[in-house]
Amino acid sequence: MGRKILFVTTDQQRYDALGCNGGTVARTPVADALAASGVNYRRAMNQNVVCMPARATMLTGQYPRTHGVYANGVPLPSDAPSVAAYLNEHGYRTALLGKAHFEPAFDLEGRWAENRMARDDTYGPHRGFEHMELAMHGPIPLWHYGKWLQSRPGHHERSFYALFDGGALNSSGGGETGACQLKINPVPRELYHTDWVADRTIAWLDTLGADEDWFCWMSFPDPHHPWDPPAAELGRVPWRDLDLPAGHPGSPDACRRILEQKPGHWLAYYDGSHSNLEGGPTGFVPAQMTDDQVREVNAFTHVENELIDEALGRVLAHVDSRGWGADTDVIFTTDHGELQGDFGLLFKGPYHCDALMRLPLIWRPSPTAGVAPAEVGDPVGQLDLVPTFCRIAGLPVPDWVQGAPLPTRDGTGRERVITEWDSQFDTEDLHLRSLYRDGWLVTEYDATGGYDGTEGELYHLVEDPHQWHNLWSDPSRRAVRDDLLADLHDHLPAARQPRLAVEAPV
């Protein structure tokens, strides 16, 4: 058979969160070591910048327009292909520990299996995973982690930030600066969901025989908001010691000058006239965010990144203790990024930029695979994860997969990555298509949502890595823009018909 596979995902983690990708705050020695001994992808990008579409792509190997999950309110169809099911059919033991989110999370009625398991005291099988133990962003008992936390002494289910306020995302502030969705959380570290995910992963691995092949998706809910890591860990990154992030323009006037160059919903989000309903709490107005609030949000995020790295280290040490180290491939990535102060903004949404699109992606092949350490600059996408898992397992790539196995060196003909956005709300009605190629990023806006089809964005990411200078209307770049748009249209697959319904909008 093939090799064992540990697939590690975080949630809403930036490319530059890791030291190996230029991060200078969070200490991430475990991920950095994987990159040093494996393949670090410098231009990995997602196919959608919010959770469910991106995660559905990682499971199916298909574009959102193919699997149909174009927004968080659209559940992945029950008959959608699944790499877990494919591997399981070929002898692999399969599990998902942590955040799944292939189905809408705003589901108090338990319409979908992910949200019924904990209340029914079941653990799968589902979507090809023999075993699932699920967590989300806090102690809500719809998922196994919340139910488990409520059974622990101390009532620490009350310690976390309250994610919802009257059925909507909470926009209240906390911490020392009053930053949105921040809380100083008295929960002990051993009860926090990051260590819980690692603990449950280790426990599942210990149910396996020494000679069994396995595919384990270990899925951390952090560093996605709300930002409420254990208070005892906050001393790792004192927020007062932080500079503003490099992507922050430095002043409200500078933010406005940059955002005015972009299509109108960018500045409207900053000013509060666009609610960013699909990306964060609607009561949040970025223009009202202080520099110190940006610093404190970043500090809490860096703490969460460090805790993830240490939890990953514990799991890798356990894999080694089971004698599997030489036969296990490790792939580390995330679903999408976080604005985290870039442009003076926070959270995510219909904003196609590196902060949200560019992913940490590291593949540490089994030492027996004979793959030399490398940094790969050719563009790759989340589409390419499923065929890579198949190659590791020694299986043919199924016909339903739209990606290709990840390259282990540059120069293999990779040219482009495509990312899409389609609003689930008629009030938002934003539809974006982006293509990255040759250091350029172009974004086209459909003639909807107040746009007439002539608006767009164009950036040269080598000359302008923060995307502060929109070249869309620059006559000297017209030929480049038109060539990139033609390439985008040529490579977009046909959209699924009929379009799936939004069943639980968020």
What is the per-residue pLDDT across 245-288, written as a single tens digit (0 to 9) for each? 999 999 999 999 999 999 999 999 999 999 899 999 999 999 99
Beta strand pairing call for 214-219 and 4-10: parallel
pLDDT, average across residues 466-472:
98
Q: Who's near 119: CB < 8 A, 6+ residues apart?
A: 110, 141, 142, 147
Cα–Cα distance measured from residue 89 to residue 367, given in angstroms and rounded to the nearest whole number:
26
pLDDT, residue 66, reads 98
Using pLDDT thresholds of 50, 70 and 90, give the confidence band for residue 304.
Answer: very high
| Total domains in the fold of the chain | 1
pLDDT at position 95 is 99
Domain annotation covers residue 497: no
Whether residue 135 has pLDDT greater than 90 = yes
Is the per-residue pLDDT at 166 higher than 80? no
Per-residue model confidence as pLDDT tens digits over 408-426 = 999 999 999 999 999 999 9
Cα pseudo-dihedral 113, 114, 118, 120, rounded to 10: 0
First-residue to last-residue Cα distance in the chain: 42
Residue 421: the pLDDT is 98
| 358 within 8 A of 459, measured Cβ to Cβ | no
pLDDT at 169 over 90: no
3-state secondary structure 260-282: CCCCCHHHHHHHCCCCCCCCCCC
Q: Is residue 65 part of a domain?
A: yes
Question: Is residue 1 over pLDDT 80?
Answer: no
Q: Which residues of 19-40 are buried (b: 16+ CB within 10 A; e: fewer)?
A: bbbebebbbbebbbbbbeebbb
Using one digit for the tens of pLDDT, what is the confidence trace for 437-467? 999 999 999 999 889 999 999 999 999 999 9
pLDDT of residue 168: 76
- Alpha carbon distance 73, 195 (integer Å): 29
On the question of pLDDT at 483 being above 90, the answer is yes
d(CA 244, CA 198): 32
Is 130's pLDDT higher than 70? yes
Q: What is the mean pLDDT of residues 336-347?
A: 98
Kindly state the average pLDDT of the residues 156-179.
90
Q: What is the Cα–Cα distance from 178 to 438, expressed in whole angstroms? A: 42
Nearest to 506 by CA among 431, 423, 449, 439: 423
Model's pTM, two decimal places?
A: 0.98
Q: Which residue bears the tokens 């189905």?
A: 103
Average pLDDT over residues 44-68: 98
Q: Give domain status of residue 354, yes or no.
A: yes
Element of type H or E holding 419: strand 416-422
The pLDDT of residue 303 is 98
Extract the tokens encoding 378: 């050719």
* CATH code (residue 351): 3.40.720.10
Cα dihedral 320, 44, 131, 86 in deg (nearest 10):
-100
**185-209 pLDDT, tens digit each:** 999 999 999 999 999 999 999 999 9
Q: Give 140 or 11, the one with higher predicted confidence.
A: 11
Q: Which domain holds residue 218?
A: 4-491
pLDDT of residue 2: 78
Look at residue 178 and tell me whether its pLDDT is greater than 90. yes
